[in-house]
Amino acid sequence: MPKNKKRNTPHRGGSGGSGSGAAAATAATAGGQHRNVQPFSDEDASIETMSHCSGYSDPSSFAEDGPEVLDEEGTQEDLEYKLKGFIDLTLDKSAKTRQAALEGIKNALASKMLYEFILERRMTLTDSIERCLKKGKSDEQRAAAALASVLCIQLGPGIESEEVLKTLGPILKKIICDGTASIQARQTCATCFGVCCFIATDDITELYSTLECLENVFTKSYLKEKDTNVICSTPNTVLHISSLLAWTLLLTICPISEVKKKLEMHFHKLPSLLSSDDVNMRIAAGESLALMFELARGMESDFFYEDMESLTQMLRALATDGNKHRAKVDKRKQRSVFRDILRAVEERDFPTETVKFGPERMYIDCWVKKHTYDTFKEVLGSGMQYHLQSNEFLRNVFELGPPVMLDAATLKTMKISRFERHLYNSAAFKARTKARSKCRDKRADVGEFF
């Protein structure tokens, strides 16, 4: 992804919901007035806390229906009221309540553009995330890091997201490098650090510092001279995978001089990760290699890789892997991915993918675009399609142009109601059950025959 295309993103001023109903929304609460909450402690939630929390909807409700929540269950003011409640609950005594509040805010921001609302409260949100990262345990730190990623995606490039990264960056780096911290928390923080840096950093030295931090993590999985031909996975492998993928994302926005330096440093060491006994590590390493070849050939059309024969042999073996000691699902997934990686390395070919969202389509026609899409899809989940339609930052990254404005009638014809979705899923389930029953009957008949 060329750096200049990401940096020239226009500053959004009104993409999200307005705060016109903010005063009315705070005038009353569902279960009484907000109580004064105290700073963090490890005490369990009191009855009063649980009663207070029950005044707001379950955080998971935002993830289930995405942007349809507003149309079916309330107004913009209702959503803003719920979010204000969640923001208040990030200061609660109970760790579980704080975690649920963080997840509720994250799910809402992943499924709806709320730029104006969070712009007014970005300092409050940043402070809450900072406290939860510093004082929270594993699950709470993961929820805080995930929220930080989505917060930066909502804000897009600019002073606001730069301030978020400036505040949270050192804490994320500390957690990533802390060997005593939870592996899962370090893994989420590595992804968050890469995504936030991709969006917000305008300081080249900060970009290089982030790359170095992530490098120091995933290079610990490289094959050492004293090791055997197989890299055995450890509890840290998931952290190394996330760090490698975040590092690869940032590599796509580096200046050419830095890209060349990184390619020289890692081109001959990264293939050793293809011998890992973890299928996800093998796939992450293979996709990173394919992207690095794409970058190298973009800079030099006649790029020559010295160990090409050895590398293609490894890739071909993985693309046709039939080892019995590996799970069938892993082998199927691996073979599919490595067939594409082998084509990219040998033939400079990429199988174009089509992503549909609303009335639009996006064609993923290179490894840089695929890796960027996969990263943001992991962060936003089911909200990715909505953000591709409405988020100016993401539309700029994928060169989709300004958001397409659709009238209410068109939107209504495009949307499937929850009831219709339920009927469709029920019919599909019945059809699958019927097909399985027929298959079982045939097997029974064959058994009786013999």
Distance between CA 173 and CA 305 in Å, rounded?
A: 33
Which of 340, 369, 395 represents a domain boundary (last residue)? 340
Tokens 């990254």 belong to 397
- Asked whether residue 96 is domain-assigned, the answer is yes
Question: How many CA atoms are closer than 13 Å to the CA of 42, on its beta-carbon side?
Answer: 3
Regarding whether 137 and 255 lie in a shared domain, the answer is no
Q: Residue 401 region, left (φ>0) first, then alpha (ψ -120 to 50), else beta?
A: left
Strand partners, 357: 360
Q: Are residues 91 and 175 in the same domain?
A: yes
Phi, psi of 365 (to 5 degrees): -120, 15
Co-location of 330 and 210 in the same domain: yes
Are 214 and 326 in the same domain?
A: yes
Q: Is residue 299 part of a domain?
A: yes
| Number of separate domains in the chain | 2
Confirm if 176 and 193 have CB atoms less than 8 A apart.
yes
Helices H / strands E in the chain, number of each: 22, 2
Helix, strand, or coil here: 74?
coil
pLDDT tens digits for range 120-129: 999 999 999 9
Same domain, 217 and 333: yes
The residue written with tokens 């009353």 in the block is: 28
CB 80 within 8 A of CB 17: yes
Domain membership of residue 435 (yes or no) is no
Kindly state the tokens that stand for 229. 């031909």
Are residues 264 and 160 located together in one domain of the fold?
no
E strand or H helix that includes residue 286? helix 279-299
Whether residues 168 and 211 share a domain: the answer is: no
Element at 187 (helix H, strand E): helix 183-200
* Three-state secondary-structure class, residue 401: coil
* CATH number, domain with residue 106: 1.25.10.10
| Tokens 């490890």, located at residue | 42
426 inside domain? no
* Owning domain of residue 267: 204-222+233-340
Output the CA–CA distances (angstroms, integers) from residue 230 to 221, 226, 324, 341, 392, in the order listed: 11, 11, 16, 21, 44
Is 358 domain-assigned? no
Burial class (CB in 10 A: 0-12, 13-18, 19+), 60: exposed
Query: Is there a single domain that holds both residue 190 and residue 252?
Result: no
Residue 91 covered by a domain: yes
Beta bridge partners of 30: 32
Residues of the chain with pLDDT under 50: 1-57, 60-73, 411, 444, 446-450
Around 172, how many Cα atoms within 13 Å sit in the side-chain half-sphere? Answer: 32
Q: Which of 285, 311, 340 is the last residue of a domain?
A: 340
| Whether residues 254 and 155 fall in one domain | no
Same domain? For 181 and 295 the reply is: no
Does residue 285 sit within a domain? yes
Q: Is residue 93 included in any domain, yes or no?
A: yes
208 plus 336 within the same structural domain: yes
- Other Cβ atoms less than 10 A from the Cβ of 300: the count is 9
Alpha carbon distance 270, 17 (integer Å): 45
Q: Tokens in use for 39?
A: 């700073």
Same domain, 169 and 261: no
CA distance 66 to 247: 30
Domain boundary among 290, 307, 340: 340
- Reference 380, options 2, 132, 189, 108; nearest CA is 108
Question: Quick one: which of 152, 111, 112, 154 has its CA closest to 129?
Answer: 152
- Decide: pTM greater than 0.85: no
Question: Which pLDDT score, from 0 to 100, does residue 263 have?
Answer: 95
Q: What local confidence, expressed as pLDDT, does residue 98 receive?
A: 97
Q: Which alpha helices (DSSP H) does 201-278 contain, by range? A: 204-218, 237-251, 256-266
